[in-house]
Structure 1
Amino acid sequence: MAEHDDEWEAGLEDDSSAVLRAVSRQIKLWREAAGMTQGELGAAIGYGEEMVSAVERCKRLPKPEFLDGTDVALGADGKISAMKEDVKQARYPKKVRDLAKLEAKAVERGAYGDHNIDGLLQTEEYARALFAMRRPAFSEEQIDRHVAARMARQELLRRQPTPTLTFVQEEVTLRRPLGGRMVLRRQLEHLLEVGQLRHVVIQVVPTECEDHGSMGGQFEVLKMHSGETLAHWEAQLFSRLVSDPKEVQVFELRYGIIRSQALTPRESLAFIEKVLGET
């Protein structure tokens, strides 16, 4: 396995829980040292006793304002507030953080989606609907965490200098009403807005297309600032980063073919507008 693959596989086991346990433990230790009960701390910072208990038991993630308020109430002199960045990073699953780091270094990203809208193009409510229907079911906290991670990745759309972002979506992803008709309508409207950005290209593959260059599922190709090209794909419970040049070449070939078979960018936006009118 190539070096990048080793790093990716090692990151599949989420390490954020250890960080959150350490933060929760520190809050409890500072509270006890100050001689305050959970109820008293909650009253001092504007939260209920149950919330303080949940944070100390690592059942809820403390928000920045929770940490700042706790820092002042317990006289921690910035030591609790200083943990905000650690908590922010730990909110997101490790494999998402790793992918986001790679995407942040890319000068070009091409993605093919065959069963839902690409994560960088999703509205928050569309993303929430996707995570809410996962099986086994996620808890509300897990859903919040995954949605926040997905929204954070979308910083790539606004990054300077802007990377070139291309997306190829199957027609079915534009018509499947995940989350309900209104969620889909707002998602389609969002696609039309993002599609106007000069560094973004969205193409659609009509279902009636007889030839298809990628029947093996969704994937993305990342061209890095270093000149290296990587590929990434997910299937059910597995996720893989591909760095072997011969394997990456296969993904590049397939992506090139599927783009040539899709509607042009102008035709694609017109197609999305048509689907919106029918939804």
Structure 2
Amino acid sequence: MNSRKLPRKKNLSAMRMLGVQLGTARRAAGFTQRSLGERLMIDEETIASIEQGRRPLKPDLAASLDELLGTKGMLSAGVANLPEIDQFPLWAELYVQHEREAVSLSLYASQVLPGLLQTEQYARAVLRERVPAYDEDEIETRTAARTGRRDVLHRKTPPTVSFIVWEPVLHLDIGGAHVRREQLRHLREYSELPGLSLQFLPLDSPSHAGLDGPFILLETPDHQHLAYIEGQRGSQWVSDPSEVSILARKYAMLRTQALTPQESQRLLDRLLGEQGEQRTSVVHVDLQR
């Protein structure tokens, strides 16, 4: 995988410049964003995102636009000279935009629960662990943004979503016993959502296809398959089909190694039962004092 990264501003400036060129050519040809999208059988929002530099223009679409708008290969040449999407750092706002529009998401987590599954208290506790520390105002702002992302799971037509989480994550006591218990309840509730699969890779599994770390697979509305890898000091998109395929195969193997969704629900029930017993035991001891 190509890990070379280019400065964010350079990449986004190039994408915005190409978007401006597309918008200028579109208007000169007498198209609105909607009519152009209808002509190409793609969403109006896709055209808008490309023109605003929020979404990269792909070679096949650039070729179609050159032909339709009479730009004589200008857009294709611009795409050919853009940095590859794999090469620029993944910034949260770009990922969230793709997440909001995705038709499918597959997420493997091994360190902390995915943001889409976090309760407000759990998210706040996770953000408080950041080094160097956020101030309280920033923690509240980021907590609201993170929990707001859950709306994607409650859309009228939600994406198809699969989560695989390594079991040790469930035993982390981040925020204390109460936060953990409410988070487990939340997971159990979300495990019942239509179109959502929640599986846990058990601690005693003899096989583990995710030892290289967490990652996300994403399918866009125009059926582009991307992967997202986030690390300690940077993140990156992966768009090369062969590289995305490797991660997709890892995810497929993880699904066979993980508990089934039904077994995963029973694991949550057991953990919630154990926490309830511990709480009852503490109250009983306190009453004997």
TM-score range, shorter chain: 0.5 to 0.7
Task: Say if 2:106 is the partner of 1:110.
Answer: yes
Correspondence for 2:260: 264
How far apart are residue 12 of structure 1 and its match? 11
**Equivalent runs, 1:151-230 vs 2, <5 Å:** 151-230=147-226
Task: Say if 2:133 is the partner of 1:144.
Answer: no
CA distance in structure 2 between the partners assigned to 1:144 and 1:237 by the alignment: 23
CA distance in structure 2 between the partners assigned to 1:277 and 1:236 by the alignment: 35
CA distance in structure 2 between the partners assigned to 1:265 and 1:11 by the alignment: 42
CA distance in structure 1 between the partners assigned to 2:231 and 2:168 by the alignment: 18
Kindly indicate whether the alpha-carbon contact (under 8 Å) linking 1:96 and 1:149 is maintained by their aligned counterparts in 2. Answer: no
The size of the alignment, in residue pairs, is: 197
Correspondence for 2:124: 128
Q: Deviations over 1:68-98 (max 9, x none)?
A: xxxxxxxxxxxxxxxxxxxxxxxxxx93222
**Counterpart secondary structure, 2:200:** strand
CA RMSD after TM alignment: 2.4
How far apart are residue 122 of structure 1 and its match? 0.3
Correspondence for 2:97: 101
- Report percent identity of matched pairs: 36
CA distance in structure 2 between the partners assigned to 1:142 and 1:131 by the alignment: 9
Q: Deviations over 1:10-60 (max 9, x none)?
A: 2799xxxxxxxxxxxxxxxxxxxxxxxxxxxxxxxxxxxxxxxxxxxxxxx
Amino acid at match of 1:140: E
5+ residue gaps, structure 1: 14-93
5+ residue gaps, structure 2: 12-89, 276-289
Task: Say if 2:245 is the partner of 1:249.
Answer: yes
How far apart are residue 160 of structure 1 and its match? 2.3
**Counterpart secondary structure, 1:274:** helix
Kindly indicate whether the alpha-carbon contact (under 8 Å) linking 1:11 and 1:98 is maintained by their aligned counterparts in 2. Answer: no
**Counterpart secondary structure, 2:164:** strand
126-135 vs 241-250, greater mean Cα deviation = 241-250
Q: Which runs of 4+ in 1 moved over 6 A?
A: none
How far apart are residue 268 of structure 1 and its match? 0.5
**Counterpart secondary structure, 1:215:** coil
CA distance in structure 1 between the partners assigned to 2:144 and 2:91 by the alignment: 14
Amino acid at match of 2:8: A
CA distance in structure 2 between the partners assigned to 1:131 and 1:210 by the alignment: 32
Q: Deviations over 1:116-146 (max 9, x none)?
A: 1111000000000000011111111221121
Kindly indicate whether the alpha-carbon contact (under 8 Å) linking 1:213 and 1:254 is maintained by their aligned counterparts in 2. Answer: yes
CA distance in structure 1 between the partners assigned to 2:5 and 2:107 by the alignment: 23
Amino acid at match of 2:143: V
How far apart are residue 159 of structure 1 and its match? 1.5
CA distance in structure 1 between the partners assigned to 2:221 and 2:107 by the alignment: 18
CA distance in structure 2 between the partners assigned to 1:11 and 1:181 by the alignment: 43
Q: Deviations over 1:213-267 (max 9, x none)?
A: 1101111100112111000011112111111111111110111100110000001
Q: 1:210 to 1:228 in 2, by over 3 A?
A: same
Task: Say if 2:271 is the partner of 1:275.
Answer: yes
CA distance in structure 2 between the partners assigned to 1:215 and 1:199 by the alignment: 27
Q: Deviations over 1:175-205 (max 9, x none)?
A: 1111101100000000010111111110011
TM-score, length basis structure 1: 0.66
CA distance in structure 2 between the partners assigned to 1:99 and 1:255 by the alignment: 19
CA distance in structure 2 between the partners assigned to 1:144 and 1:246 by the alignment: 40
**Counterpart secondary structure, 1:213:** coil
